[in-house]
Each structure stands twice: as structure tokens, then as C-alpha cells.
Amino acid sequence: MARLRDPLTTLKGVGPKVGEAFARLGLRTLEDALFHLPLRYEDRTRITPLAAVRQGQAVVFEATIRAAQVAFGRRRSLVLKVEDGSGLATLRLFHFSKAQQQQLKPGRPLRGFGEGRGGAGGIEFVHPELTFLDGGAPPALDDRLTPIYPTTEGLGQARLRSLLHRALALLEGAGAEALGLTETLLADLRHLHTPPVGTDLATLEAGLDPAQQRLAFDELLAHQLAMMTARSVLQAQPAPRLAGDPALEARFLRALPFELTEAQRRVSAELAADLDRSQPMLRLLQGDVGSGKTVVAALALLRAVGSGFQGALMAPTELLAEQHLKTLGPWLEGLGLRCAALTGRLGAKQRRALEADLASGALPVVVGTHALFQDSVAFQRLGLVVIDEQHRFGVDQRLALRDKGTSQDGVPHQLVMTATPIPRTLAMSAYADLDVSIIDSRPPGRTPVTTVVLPASRREALLNRVREACKAGRQAYWVCTLIERSEHLEAEAAEETAETLAKALPELTVGLVHGRLKGDAKAAAMQAFAAGDTQLLVATTVIEVGVDVPNASLMIIENAERLGLAQLHQLRGRVGRGAAASHCVLLYQSPLGRHGKARLEALRTSDDGFYLAEKDLTLRGPGEVLGTRQTGALDLKVADLLRDQDQLPAIQEAARALLASDPAAAAPIMQRWLGTRQQFINA
């Protein structure tokens, strides 16, 4: 009798070659096949009158050829006019043989299947599947919708479909009970693999079929369980209690040129309470750009140091790591503590020296990129890891971190900081393994940034604005973006722009920073800008996060319509850091679509990162908000975070209840949705 864990190769017709193709799809067992659900469906169960065909809809039609003609346009094509009593349509074939041409004669009745598109003369089908109806009884229509599955090279749709359905039948033969599934679940899967006539296609495609909704619940539950399990596995390990040194912290606070805000104080207290436990902290600190997360992180690091442990701060780019060093360095040195950056820019000798100091404990605080967590780096006593700008790291990387720095004292505490405000519902599913703290107000004394939206045709007029701002002693950013996220092309565009701007504004010193510059050159360009030596900095989105030059009060962003709201908001956060009134100009390429307009308008009228993130979520989906890697880790098959967000609170509740009452029952749920992917979470 078939079992869920049987390999797919037990299916007749699955040899090594097909097995490999399945493996590429992540399918290894009958269970994997059962949960490999269709992307969409085609309806070959009924005949649609031509007059009723909607643009983009794939339909079966029956009609008679009225005219056939070879058209010589840009490409030669055979054009048939067909009619079915309700209306007319055009069939267009770009590839056709002489024999086909001879068969497709006026007067012949045929059945076709294809996607209706809008053509010059009404509905048009390009290369529909065709059968003649004058050769005996017409073939029967399907009694089920046709599922279309995600597939891969070497495994055709029809073949895949028949194999998946065979796997389904085999498992059904064993029965739900023997499989350890509920009857409902199995029936829902059957329904989605082969929806019967009468199933509403639109509902199905919207993911709102009751079977889909039940499965979505189950799938989100699996993810929730996996994250909660990962969290409890980690929290079962001991962590060092970091009680801190109140005198040290007091000295630090006295030396700061400002008072902590209420929100910063509250969050610091939350962190302090976590750090003083013998369970590892797993906390996400959310705070809009400029809300002052760095000083909060510094306090947490001091708490580790004050307890005799080391602290590490990890940033997504070298630029940011160096920026952090520039901020933290003086703060810590003022207290007689060393802080250094471990980046790719270090020479071999410096690097070895730094690694030796980390291993001996001579270096209490280190900042760096993920290079910090290479094998050659060992800490003497790592108490706390702070990860800045979390969305640039994948969940898997974060989870991999937990082993680093594990010592006789246990695992280090983790603080993850993000400036991308994550809507609550998303946070609940993407960060179910983290506690959340929020800095929800900004330090006083900022003037809000005025945002202007302009077509790219006004680019010239902006030169004057840049000139004026710089003449008044301020500085400006000019941000180049491209649709292809190719670092290479983006760098080229930035170089070109820098040249043009330098020519157009000869009285200004123009700097350039992009991702293709060597670390030294990048840092030098940033330093020159920070020191005020360059007045206009042409940059790619590498300056997106963290860069802090308070004297910069003007930012121009080209092709703004191509970026997500969250990212634009991040970029804009680079200005408005000083006392001067700041401006951000969003240039767009005309014409701007409806969505594009709505997005830029949202940005113009709001400076609230949370509001913008919610807006992004509705306009562009969770991928944009969380970053692709994040959603990649939450690779959902049936569920959709946005569509199903109303279910999330209940799902979280169900996951908690299940883990409390019947933890063994969680494993099969995770297994069926996450399969092998679950292992990295539980590893």
C-alpha cells in the first residue's frame, strides 16, 4: 500500500530522468506530488460563444471557417475568419504547412481552444489548438477543469499532470486514515488537482475556493509551526545573562549630545530585560529611518561589554559597516573601549591581527558585514549579535548565525534591526520567531522633508535647484536607478550621470559612489561627501540605508516609479537629518501608470514608513515589502499573505495551541508543506 514517504520513482513511468526533473521541482515523494498544486486552470468543460469571450480568457469555441487568407505583415501569417452564430473571431497561425493551409478552407466546422486576445478586428486567437468537427462525432468535452502545474524542462505539462494524478490516485487508494491525513484534506487536494465541472474558475483563480482557503490555513499553520519550533529549539539553549554595568551605561548616556527619546528609552528597557535572561533574546527592532536605532543598539552592545562579553554588529554592506564604525567608534572610545570593523577592505595582516583580538577578547566590539561569520573568525565570548537592516539577510542566514559564537556560556543573544516597517500581519508570519520592539517616534528637531513629484522632462530645471542648494552651503544626492537590477548597468548609468552633471555644474565638486567601486574608493567617496569636500554625490541605491550626512538637504531620485515605496522612503530618509529644510524630488518617466501615480502620490503626502509599507503591501504585494529573499523563504504554494491576512491571528493561535497540546502532530503538517526546506529551520 502506498505511503506518503514513498519515493516518486515507485510510480510507473518515473525513471531516473523524470526523477531528476521531479527533483528539480523539489518533488521527491508521493507526498510532495500530492502537495504540488496547480498554478492555474483551463476550462475545457464547455463551449463558449465567441461573442462572450473575454480578453485573456482561454476558451473552447466551435465555429465555421468563413475566410482564409495569407497575410503579409511584419510576419507572414495564415488568417482565418470564423463565425459561430453569436459572433466572429480571427484565428492567426504564424507557422503552418501547405497541407494545413489546404485543410483550413471556408465552410469547415472546427473546435478550437486558445486564449482570446484583443486584435484590430475583435477577438483573436493565435495558434489555437484545432480539431475538425466534420470527421464524425465531436470529441467529448472534459468533465473537469484542466490544471496547469509549475513544471520544468524535460517534463511536459501533460506528462507531469498524468504522473501527479497517478500519485494522487495511488494515495487515495491507501485512504486518508492510513496516510494520517484527514478526509477533508484529501478531498480538498483532489478538488484542487481535478476541479469538477461547475467549479467557479474565477473563484479558484482568486484563491478563494473553500478548498484553497482551508489548505491556505494549513500551509500558513505549517510555516508558523516551523518558526515557533525554530524559536523554541533555540531558546532551549542557554544564553549568558548580561546584567550590564550601570555606571558604564550612565557614562555613555551623559556623553551623548542628546537625550534619548521616550521610545528609545522604552525599547532599551525591553532589550535590557531580555538580555538579563538566561534564554537567548530573539528580538526584532523596528524603527523608521532616522528614528535612532543605532544608539539603542550601542546601549545593548555596552550591556554585553559591561557584563564581560563581546558584541558584534553586522551590516548588509561594507559602506554601512563603516558608517556604523564611524558612529559607534567615538562613542565607545570615549569610554575607553575599542571598536573595529572587519570588512573585505582589510589587508591580510590587519585582518589576522583583528581576528586574534577577537579570539583573545582584546576587542570588545566589532562591526562588519557577513564576513564576520566566516570560519576563520572566532570570538572569545560573544554575548550579543546585532544585525542591522535585516531584510537584506535571508532567514536562513539569520538562523545559521545562531551557531556562531556558541560557547560554554551558551548561544549569543540576537537583536535584528530593520528600518523597513513591516505591517503587523506580515511581521506575524515572516517573523513569528522574533519578539518585536518598535521605536515609533523620531528624535525632536527635525524638519520634515518636502517631496515633489516631477516628470523626467523637468530634469534640466533641477540643475538650478542643485546649484542654489550647494551655493547656500548644503549638499545634495542625485540617485540613479535602473529597471534591471544589474549593478553593472546601474554603475554605468551613475558614471554617465556624474559626468553630465559635472559638466553642467562646473562650479560644484561632484562625487560618485556605486556598487562596482572598490571598497576603498567607495569609502573615500563617502568620506569626501560626509566631510563636505564634495557637494553633489551621484549614487546608486547603495546609499539606500544607514548613510548619515546631516548637511545633505536635497535628494533627486531618477526613475522613481521603478522603486518600491519602502525603498524610496529609505532613500529619502538620507535627507532631512539636519536642521535645514530638506527636499526630495522624485523624477518619473512619462507616462506614469495608475499604480505608479498612486505610489508616488502616497510618498509625496506621507512621511510615515508604516503607512507606506501598508500601501506597498496592497499595491505591490509582500515581496516588495519584505524583500525577495524573505518571501523566498516563505515560499507559499496556496496561501497568499496579503489575501489571507485575516486568517493569520487564528493561525497563530492554532499553532500555539497545537504545540502546547500535541507537539507531535506538528511534524507532519510542517513536513507536507515545507518538506526538506523545514530542515534548515530545525537544524
Residues that bind Mg ion (CB under 5 A): 546
What distance in Å separates the CA atoms of residue 535 and residue 537, rounded to the nearest whole number? 7
What distance in Å separates the CA atoms of residue 31 and residue 42, rounded to the nearest whole number? 24
- Give the pairing of strands 109-119 and 129-132: antiparallel
Which does residue 290 touch among ligand ADP, Mg ion, none (CB within 5 to 8 A, set by kind)?
Answer: ligand ADP
264 near ligand ADP (CB under 6 A) = yes
What's the min distance (Å) between Cβ of 610 and ligand ADP? 14
For helices 519-530 and 318-333, the axis angle rounded to 10 degrees is: 60
Instruction: Specify whether the CB–CB gap between 89 and 123 falls below 8 A.
Output: yes
User: For Mg ion, which is the closer residue by CB, 112 or 546?
Assistant: 546
Residue 623 CB partners (closer than 8 Å, separation 6+): 631
Q: Nearest to residue 602, comparing CAs of 573, 576, 566, 626? A: 566
447 near ligand ADP (CB under 6 A) = no
Residue 267 CB partners (closer than 8 Å, separation 6+): 285, 287, 296, 437, 438, 439
What's the min distance (Å) between Cβ of 360 and ligand ADP? 30
- 459 φ, ψ (degrees, to nearest 5): -55, -45
User: For ligand ADP, which is the closer residue by CB, 334 or 649?
Assistant: 334
User: For Mg ion, which is the closer residue by CB, 124 or 288?
Assistant: 288
What's the min distance (Å) between Cβ of 389 and ligand ADP? 9
What's the min distance (Å) between Cβ of 326 and Mg ion? 12
User: For Mg ion, which is the closer residue by CB, 288 or 558?
Assistant: 288
What's the min distance (Å) between Cβ of 258 and ligand ADP? 3
574 HSE (CA, 13 A, CB side): 33
Q: Determine if residue 167 is left, alpha or beta; phi over 0 gives left, psi from -120 to 50 gives alpha, anything else beta.
A: alpha
- 640 φ, ψ (degrees, to nearest 5): -140, 120
Which does residue 264 touch among ligand ADP, Mg ion, none (CB within 5 to 8 A, set by kind)?
Answer: ligand ADP
Which does residue 289 touch among ligand ADP, Mg ion, none (CB within 5 to 8 A, set by kind)?
Answer: ligand ADP
Which does residue 193 touch among Mg ion, ligand ADP, none (CB within 5 to 8 A, set by kind)?
Answer: none
What's the min distance (Å) between Cβ of 537 and Mg ion? 18
User: For Mg ion, which is the closer residue by CB, 368 or 546?
Assistant: 546
What's the min distance (Å) between Cβ of 602 and ligand ADP? 20
Q: Which stretch binds ligand ADP (CB under 6 A): 196-204, 221-229, 282-290, 340-348?
A: 282-290
258 near ligand ADP (CB under 6 A) = yes
Q: Nearest to residue 412, comparing CAs of 401, 400, 423? A: 401
What's the min distance (Å) between Cβ of 570 and ligand ADP? 9
User: For ligand ADP, which is the closer residue by CB, 90 or 261?
Assistant: 261
Which does residue 258 touch among ligand ADP, Mg ion, none (CB within 5 to 8 A, set by kind)?
Answer: ligand ADP
User: For Mg ion, which is the closer residue by CB, 123 or 315?
Assistant: 315
330 near ligand ADP (CB under 6 A) = no
Q: Nearest to residue 641, comparing CAs of 216, 229, 222? A: 216
What distance in Å separates the CA atoms of residue 290 and residue 362, rounded to the nearest whole number? 32
User: For ligand ADP, which is the closer residue by CB, 330 or 473?
Assistant: 330
What distance in Å separates the CA atoms of residue 49 and residue 92, rounded to the nearest whole number? 18
Which does residue 306 touch among ligand ADP, Mg ion, none (CB within 5 to 8 A, set by kind)?
Answer: none
Among 260, 272, 452, 619, binds ligand ADP (CB under 6 A): 260
Beta strands in 517-641 (DSSP E): 536-539, 552-557, 583-588
443 near ligand ADP (CB under 6 A) = yes
Which does residue 291 touch among Mg ion, ligand ADP, none (CB within 5 to 8 A, set by kind)?
Answer: ligand ADP
Which does residue 116 touch among Mg ion, ligand ADP, none (CB within 5 to 8 A, set by kind)?
Answer: none
Which does residue 292 touch among ligand ADP, Mg ion, none (CB within 5 to 8 A, set by kind)?
Answer: ligand ADP
408-437 footprint of ligand ADP as x/- string (CB under 6 A): -----------x------------------
Helix (H/G/I), strand (E/B), else coil: 288: coil
Q: Nearest to residue 536, comparing CAs of 566, 576, 494, 577? A: 494
User: For ligand ADP, which is the closer residue by CB, 548 or 640?
Assistant: 548
User: For ligand ADP, which is the closer residue by CB, 279 or 441?
Assistant: 441
Site size for ligand ADP, by CB under 6 A? 17
User: For Mg ion, which is the closer residue by CB, 11 or 319?
Assistant: 319
What's the min distance (Å) between Cβ of 573 and Mg ion? 9
Instruction: Specify whether the CB–CB gap between 538 and 511 falls below 8 A.
Output: yes
User: For Mg ion, which is the closer residue by CB, 303 or 574?
Assistant: 574
User: For Mg ion, which is the closer residue by CB, 28 or 572?
Assistant: 572
Q: Nearest to residue 19, comparing CAs of 152, 149, 150? A: 152
364 near ligand ADP (CB under 6 A) = no
Cα distances (Å, whole numbers) of residue 580 to 32, 60, 445, 552: 59, 65, 10, 9
What's the min distance (Å) between Cβ of 600 and ligand ADP? 22
What's the min distance (Å) between Cβ of 490 and Mg ion? 23
What distance in Å separates the CA atoms of residue 555 and residue 578, rounded to the nearest whole number? 14
Residue with cell string 529609505: 570
Instruction: Specify whether the CB–CB gap between 71 and 60 falls below 8 A.
Output: no
Return the residues of window 287-306 that contact ligand ADP according to CB under 6 A.
287, 289-295
User: For ligand ADP, which is the closer residue by CB, 113 or 610?
Assistant: 610
151 HSE (CA, 13 A, CB side): 17
User: For Mg ion, which is the closer residue by CB, 511 or 546?
Assistant: 546
| Grid coordinates of 633 | 523563504
- 312 φ, ψ (degrees, to nearest 5): -130, 140
Residue with cell string 562591526: 367
Whose CB is nearest to Mg ion?
A: 546
Q: Which stretch binds ligand ADP (CB under 6 A): 46-54, 164-172, 253-261, 532-540?
A: 253-261
Beta strands in 27-106 (DSSP E): 40-42, 58-72, 76-83, 88-93
619-658 footprint of ligand ADP as x/- string (CB under 6 A): ----------------------------------------
What distance in Å separates the CA atoms of residue 499 and residue 514, rounded to the nearest whole number? 14
User: For ligand ADP, which is the closer residue by CB, 303 or 577?
Assistant: 577
DSSP 216-244: HHHHHHHHHHHHHHHHHHHHTS-------
Q: Which stretch binds ligand ADP (CB under 6 A): 221-229, 285-293, 310-318, 643-651?
A: 285-293
Which does residue 295 touch among ligand ADP, Mg ion, none (CB within 5 to 8 A, set by kind)?
Answer: ligand ADP
The amino acid that residue 389 corresponds to is E
578 near ligand ADP (CB under 6 A) = no
Quick count: other Cβ atoms within 10 Å of Cβ 126? 15
Give the residues lining the site for ligand ADP (CB under 6 A).
258-261, 264, 287, 289-295, 419, 443, 548, 577
